[in-house]
Amino acid sequence: MVVPGEVTELARRKPALLGHWSLEDASDGVSPEQKGGTPLRLGTGASIHRGPDGSCLPDLDPDCPDVPYALVDDGHLHLDGKSGHAATEGPVLDTSDSFTVGVVVRLADRKPSGPMTVLSQAGEHTDTFKVRYDPSKYAWQLIVPHEDAVGAKETVVSQIVMANGGRGVGHRLAVVYDDAIDRIMLYVDGYTNSDATAELAAGLPSSGPLQIGRATTGDGWGEYLHGDVDEVQAYQGALRDKDIPGLGHGTDPCLC
């Protein structure tokens, strides 16, 4: 616990970029990390969508296919809501320490049939955190269990957002866990609020890969996301409020 007014080494530490997955392309089912780090392996039902390449214009050429633009830059990950997901080979974030993770996501359905997870990373028995859309609450939720056990009590914070229905530019989500002040926060499009912030005295250690598009459910996988995902960015350390709007735009924010 941090004593009020105390400046710790952790609080002074600059967040370290662990991975930035642009999801522009994939080769043999693997989408690279920008700087050659741990790649994302695409599962069945996951594919990279490429936006128009400018070789023809639908307004001028009736034979030119009308290709939708990508969420950010030239490509994004599309997930079918049945089995589609992407994952690293091992854990990316030390979830027992301060961390930040951001993602751009657009839901394909206006009325999803059930909860859908966009980001998660698991411990031995359950996810140490997950970010999901719950259509019954019309909200993006950040869920953190109090212990690594199936059925453990959970802290849930949320922001109300209507589902995209496959339209628009999606939403930029970010999770920040600041161990120095014992807080966890969910940001939507650069902002958080009291409903999306909670005390978290200690994060749980994680041993599982970073998962895109699914979560641990019981003794298997579930909550598959139907929609598009782009710009996954992971940091060890807590980004400041003013840094969060810089996530999800194809570049990394300047942590000056």
Per-residue confidence at 59, pLDDT binned at 50, 70, 90?
confident
In whole angstroms, give the CA distance from residue 249 to residue 159: 21
Q: What integer pLDDT is reported at residue 218 of this predicted model? A: 80
Range of lowest pLDDT (18-22, 139-143, 214-218, 221-225): 214-218
User: Across the chain, which distance is largest between two alpha carbons, in Å?
Assistant: 67
Domain ranges of the chain: 9-22+89-239
Residue 115 pLDDT greater than 60, yes or no: yes
The pair of structure tokens assigned to 241 is 């409020």
**Comparing C-alpha atoms, which of 27, 235, 107, 33 is closest to residue 243?**
235
Per-residue confidence at 5, pLDDT binned at 50, 70, 90?
very low
Mean pLDDT of 38-48: 98
> Is 144 or 62 the better-scoring residue by pLDDT?
144
Please, what CATH class does the domain formed by 9-22+89-239 belong to? mainly beta
The pair of structure tokens assigned to 76 is 């994004």
Per-residue exposure over 7-18, b if at least 16 CB sit within 10 Å of its own CB, e if not: eeeeeeeebebb
Q: What integer pLDDT is reported at residue 187 of this predicted model? A: 98
Residue 45 pLDDT greater than 80, yes or no: yes
Range of lowest pLDDT (1-5, 33-37, 99-103): 1-5
The full 3-state SS of the chain, as one line of letters, equals CCCCCCCCHHHHCCCEEEEEECCCCCECCEECCCCCCCCEEECCCEEEEECCCCCCCCCCCCCCCCCCCCCCCCEEEEEECCCCCEECCCCCCCCCCCEEEEEEEEECCCCCCCCEEEEEEECCCCEEEEEEEECCCCEEEEEEECCCCCCCCEEEEEEECCCCCCCCCCEEEEEEEECCCCEEEEEECCECCHHHEEECCCCCCCCCCEEECCEEECCEEECCCEEEEEEEEEEECCCCHHHHHHCCCCCCCCCC
Mean pLDDT of 97-114: 97
Compute the residue count for the chain: 256
Half-sphere exposure of 152 (CA within 13 A, CB side): 19
Q: What integer pLDDT is reported at residue 62 of this predicted model? A: 83
Per-residue confidence at 12, pLDDT binned at 50, 70, 90?
low
pLDDT tens digits, residue range 117-145? 999 999 999 999 999 999 999 999 999 99
Q: What integer pLDDT is reported at residue 13 of this predicted model? A: 77
Residue 3 pLDDT greater than 50, yes or no: no
The pair of structure tokens assigned to 66 is 């009308």
Half-sphere exposure of 104 (CA within 13 A, CB side): 24
Is residue 14 within 8 A of residue 255, CB to CB? The reply is yes
Range of lowest pLDDT (36-45, 51-60, 183-192): 51-60
Q: What integer pLDDT is reported at residue 58 of this predicted model? A: 76
